[in-house]
Amino acid sequence: MSIRHSGIGMTSQRTRMRMVERLREQGITDERVLTVMNTIPRHLFVEEALASRAYDDVALPINFGQTISNPWTVARMTELLRANSNLGKVLEIGTGCGYQTAVLAQLAQEVYSIERIGPLLTRTRIRLRELRVSNAYLRHADGLLGFPEAAPFDGIMMTAVTTQVPESLLEQLMIGGRIVYPKGSRKQNLCVIEHTSQGFIETILDEVKFVPILSGVISK
């Protein structure tokens, strides 16, 4: 991989440190999240032509009409999911290029991630294998159904926007666990749902921009 992106290999650690400094200035406080994002080579998750912009605070295209979330969004969602405690099993809906998956894999014991676009997932599988991410289990399926065999989860992250979290996902969240997702349609906000013994509590937070959740799968 160092061959593929040899041109920017020399500067990427410095560029990553600048990205982390910026995240701090933008209000990210979870040091573990910042440490992990300081180590993961984000430029390897985008096409080579876009690699030089990988650390900018922008979302970038990853083919099939999808996008890799900007660094702040990844950091913020991860810090909200972690809530300063160690994560056991996490479910991600919308694997995309796998960057968020790789971040979660450093902070949780196991990550289960579902992607509906087959060819996108095939590339991501190769990428995560090359990066030796060994505790992420990827599945080509409709994420709205969740991953019942691996449930319950102590965290669920959706990386595509929806107006409502499906019942199947709420059922797969253990008590004490939380779901972080972008809620809305044209206007979108990050939203945290906590599963307490008294029921589900929803909190609406920062404004964001995501591609929509779609049902069904694409095989090729």
Which residue numbers are catalytic? 69
Q: Say whether the peptide bond before residue 212 is cis (omega within 30 degrees of 0).
A: no
CA angle 154, 158, 160 (to 5 degrees): 180
Stretch that binds ligand SAH, among 22-30, 90-98, 178-186, 191-199 (CB under 6 A): 90-98
Stretch that binds ligand SAH, among 11-19, 50-58, 89-97, 165-173 (CB under 6 A): 89-97
- Residue 78 as a binder of ligand SAH (CB under 6 A): the answer is no
Contacts with ligand SAH by CB under 6 A: the residue count is 25
- Residue 68 as a binder of ligand SAH (CB under 6 A): the answer is yes
**Residues 96/191, Cβ–Cβ less than 8 Å:** no
Tell me which of 41, 71, 143, 155 binds ligand SAH, using CB under 6 A. 143
- Do the strands 67-68 and 60-61 form a parallel or antiparallel pair, or are they unpaired? antiparallel
Angle, helices 31-39/99-107, rounded to nearest 10 degrees? 130
172-176, long-range: CB < 8 A, 24+ apart: 172/91, 172/146, 172/147, 172/148
Q: In the bound complex, what is the minimum distance in angstroms from residue 161's beta carbon to ligand SAH?
A: 9
Nearer to ligand SAH, 176 or 212 (CB): 212
Tell me which of 116, 178, 183, 195 binds ligand SAH, using CB under 6 A. 116
CB within 8 Å of 36: residues ≥ 6 apart = 78, 103, 106, 107
Contact set with ligand SAH (CB under 6 A): 62, 66-69, 93-94, 96-97, 99-100, 114-117, 120, 142-144, 159-160, 211, 213-215
